[in-house]
Chains A and B, each alone.
Chain A
Amino acid sequence: DVKVTQSSRYLVKRTGEKVFLECVQDMDHENMFWYRQDPGLGLRLIYFSYDVKMKEKGDIPEGYSVSREKKERFSLILESASTNQTSMYLCASTGGSGSPGANVLTFGAGSRLTVL
């Protein structure tokens, strides 16, 4: 089974701090995604990546950046955390177009970030 691991389940940070959320997948998936989950809003796509060193903006990229230096790792960065970034962050991955399981996301357990 595909495993997507998010390094931190719970984080508490202060306004203005730089925050790194790490995500690693172990099935050689080409595509990786970062979503933000808020009550009543469902999941909203922040950034995604179809390949190493590639990144594309999702629907709500403001205040975030990402890094994909290796195929298995996709990091979400909050350059200067703000209270409105308090949320649950979910990482997901999927195989590339034409591969088995393409378009079927496998999610990590989530990282709940609180910004004070």
Chain B
Amino acid sequence: AQSVTQLDSQVPVFEEAPVELRCNYSSSVSVYLFWYVQYPNQGLQLLLKYLSGSTLVKGINGFEAEFNKSQTSFHLRKPSVHISDTAEYFCAVCPGNTGKLIFGQGTTLQVKP
């Protein structure tokens, strides 16, 4: 069975500081990997995805993530955050080509002025 663990439930950070949101997964098959963002009172929006190819993936709003197969990780990073990045972030894996995403518990990013 597949599972996703987001290691931090809340990450407070000051504006313009760098941030890393951690995600580890377990799977016995190859997976596709995703990060989604949810702003207050909205649905989930795709930030970035890893399907194949380069392990460093760039997404919207200056975010990037690196797929590390040996560590089974897909950590999300941004070099300088803004107040508007305050939101909940979800890591997800899709085993094979099923379309069925398995989500982590979510990490709330709180950007302080």
Contacts and interface: CB of A to CB of B under 8 A. Distances in A.
Interface stretch (B57-65, B68-76, B79-87, B102-110): B102-110
B33 to A, nearest CB: 10
Interface string B84-113: 000000101010011111111110000000
A115 interface: no
B43 interface: yes
B45 interface: yes
Counting chain B residues whose Cβ lies within 8 A of the other chain, the interface size class is 20 to 34
A41 B43 contact: no
B100 A107 contact: no
Interface residues of A, number: 27
A110 B90 contact: no
Contacts of A103: 32, 51, 94, 97-99, 101
A42 B99 contact: no
A107 B43 contact: yes
Contacts, number: 64
A105 B44 CA distance: 9
Interface in A64-91: 90
Given A43-B103, A104-B49, A110 B97 contact: no
A103 B52 CA distance: 13
B43 A42 contact: no
B46 interface: yes
A71 to B, nearest CB: 15
Contacts of A110: 42-43
A97 B96 CA distance: 10
Interface of A: 4, 31, 33, 35, 40-45, 48, 50, 58, 90, 92, 94, 96-97, 102-110
8 shortest interchain CB distances as A-B pairs: A107-B43, A43-B103, A42-B105, A42-B103, A107-B44, A109-B43, A31-B99, A103-B94
11 contacts: A33-B101, A40-B9, A42-B103, A42-B104, A45-B101, A58-B100, A96-B99, A103-B94, A103-B98, A107-B43, A109-B42
Interface of B: 4, 6, 9, 32, 34, 36, 42-46, 49, 51, 90, 92, 94, 97-106
